[in-house]
Every structure is written in C-alpha cells, then in structure tokens.
Amino acid sequence: MSKLVTIYGGSGFVGRHVARRMAKLGWRVRVAVRRPNEALFVKAYGAVGQVEPVVCNIRDDASVRSVMLGADAVVNCVGTFDAKGKNSFEAIQHQGAERIARIAAEQGVAHMVQLSAIGADTDSASAYARSKAQGEEAVLKHMPGAVILRPSVIFGPEDSFFNRFAGMSRMGPVLPLVGAETKFQPVYVDDVAHAAVLGATGEAAPDVYELGGPEVATFRALIGQMLTVIRRRRAVVNLPFGLASVMGSVFETLAGLSGGIIPAQITRDQVASLKSDNVVSAGARGFAELGITPTSLEAVLPDYLWRFRPSGQYDLIKESAKHMRQG
C-alpha cells in the first residue's frame, strides 16, 4: 500500500504545493484543515481517493491524533498572523506545533517537517518570531529528527506579499512602506514545497534549513521590481518606524472594536519584525544542501501579476499595437 502523509494546513499557500508534490510521488495525502469543504480542490491533485481533505483543529489533541493515524510522515504548514484570540501566535505556532510533534512521536511517525520562518528567535522583539522559535524547540524536543524549514518571504500566485502591494498600487500615486530599507530574500513557494517533500520522504537530513531565493534586495527595490512588472509608476514613501507603530496601535484598536470586521492593515508586531533583515544567515544550511536550485523572481512574477497592469491581460496587446502605429 502507498505511504501516507498528513499535511496540517495542507490547503494553504504552501501546503497545497506540498500536497500536489506528494501526490505526484504516489503518496496518499491527508489534508488536515479546519474547513474541509473549502479545500475540496486538493482532491484533483491525485487519483480518486488519493488526496482527501479532513477536518482538524490543531488546538485539540484528539483532533490532531485522529487525522494522523497510520501516517508515515507529517508536515506542519499551519501558521497565523493573529497575535491574540483562540488562534494566537502562542496557540498555533507554539502549542499547536508542540501538539503535532508530541503525537507524532507517540504514534511512531517516521518523518516530520515543521514550517517555520527566517528570524525565528526566542529573544526577538517580535512575538511572531518568538512563537516560531518556541514551536521549533517544542518540535525538536519530541521529534529530534525533524526537518525545520525557515523561509524568507514566500512569493507565488496566491501570495499575500506582492499581490497585496500590487493591489495597493491601484489606489493612488503613492505607495507607503514600513521598513523600505529592510532586506528580504524572496523564495518561490514551490521551492519551499520541494524542500518539505524531501523532509517528508526522508531524503533530507534532519536539520534546520534557511530558505532564500537567488536575490537579496531591499523592500523598496522589491516593490520597484513589482511596479515594473505591472507597468505602474508610483512614489514609494518610507514611513518611519515610530509613526508606523502608532498606526499599528490604531489599526489594532479598530480591529478589536469591530470584532475583526475591519482587519488591521499593519500591527505593532509586524513593525517590530520589519526592523530586522529577513535573509539567510551566514553559514546556514539551505537549498544548496538540499540539492535545489531556487527560482528567481523574474521567472515567476509576470505569470501572476499581469492582472494588476492598467489593462490587465490586454496590456501587452495594446503596447504592441502602439508600436505598430508608430512604425
């Protein structure tokens, strides 16, 4: 019988790519999510019955255990940007990761992959980064042979980074940024999924891997590259960290008063995160040790950001017609 992998958060941005790759390798894939009816699209990744979404709440032992029964490998892709509430940093990224690892050890699961983040540090000024580090420690306590992946900002068709700022560029001539000089090393989502698959199949040695793409650039430069792709001219304005922290406090208050109906555009914790570069550490193990050649931004961005161009899919046609008239 084919081997079985349980992917917690398997319908999310990274998880769906892991699920697709595991299915192509012939594995049975159990996609553990809170709302399986919203994850039915994953069934198309394999043959009938090969990929199945199942209900799971990683805040509950019984729920985590039930979807892990018989699994040969587990991959935890669940993360959150909620600092408070039931699905807070602590509940999801620390306690949730610990729960999955503890139960995986109890059930004798052979391989575990934990998706973390560059910057994970128990001494970080960011609660998000601290919870990621605490999650890593908890996983390794129960599953010392686990593979920990720390990607920089992840890009791809469903990302919340370039898509967000490309959408903002439609709203006016100015594009405000916090931490415009902070450096990032964007990594393609399917490259992260490839690394996760190597960990789940046992092909990657147990270790912590920091994953960054081939380009290191400032936030400002990345947004400039995005603007070039979508053919828009915008004034990129850097907001001081002090002002951004005040704005974060106001946004958080509005989000709380509205019960989350009005989402916070930026939080104080995100401002804290943006004060530090988000790049692979010197000497860290990464794609080279995994035998993966990371994908460049220029090879992917035009494939999914074209819809933000002034004329969308017709922009290139109009440009070509313009050159013909001039000729």
CATH number where 107 lies: 3.40.50.720
For residue 33, being part of any structural domain is answered with yes
Rounded CA-CA distance 269/278 in Å is 15
| pLDDT for position 85 | 86
- Domain range spanning residue 81? 4-155+185-214+279-294
The C-alpha R_g of the chain, in whole angstroms, comes to: 21
For residue 274, being part of any structural domain is answered with no
Of the candidates 194, 141, 139, 183, the residue with the CA atom closest to the CA atom of residue 24: 194
Q: How far is CA 197 from the centre of its chain?
A: 15
For residue 132, being part of any structural domain is answered with yes
Rounded CA-CA distance 29/8 in Å is 11
Rounded CA-CA distance 280/44 in Å is 35
For residue 151, being part of any structural domain is answered with yes
Q: How far is CA 129 from the centre of its chain?
A: 14
For residue 264, being part of any structural domain is answered with no
For residue 11, being part of any structural domain is answered with yes
For residue 69, being part of any structural domain is answered with yes
- Tens digit of pLDDT at every position of the chain (327 positions): 699 999 999 999 999 999 999 999 999 999 999 999 999 999 999 999 999 999 999 999 999 999 999 999 999 999 998 888 899 999 999 999 999 999 999 999 999 999 999 999 999 999 999 999 999 999 999 999 999 999 999 999 999 999 999 999 999 999 999 999 999 999 999 999 999 999 999 999 999 999 999 999 999 999 999 999 999 999 999 999 999 999 999 999 998 888 878 888 899 999 999 999 999 999 999 999 999 999 999 999 999 999 999 977 666 666 655 555 555
For residue 174, being part of any structural domain is answered with no
Backbone φ and ψ for 125, nearest 5 degrees, come out as -75, -15
DSSP class per residue in 99-124? HHHHHHHHTT-SEEEEE--TT--TT-
| pLDDT for position 315 | 62
Rounded CA-CA distance 99/61 in Å is 7
| pLDDT for position 260 | 78
Rounded CA-CA distance 272/280 in Å is 19
Of the candidates 97, 90, 154, 99, the residue with the CA atom closest to the CA atom of residue 127: 90
- Total domains in the fold of the chain: 1
Give the DSSP H or E segment for 209.
strand 208-211
Give 315's contacts (C-beta < 8 A, 6+ positions apart). 231, 306, 309
User: Across-strand partners of 222?
Assistant: none
| pLDDT for position 261 | 83
| pLDDT for position 163 | 97
User: Across-strand partners of 150?
Assistant: 210
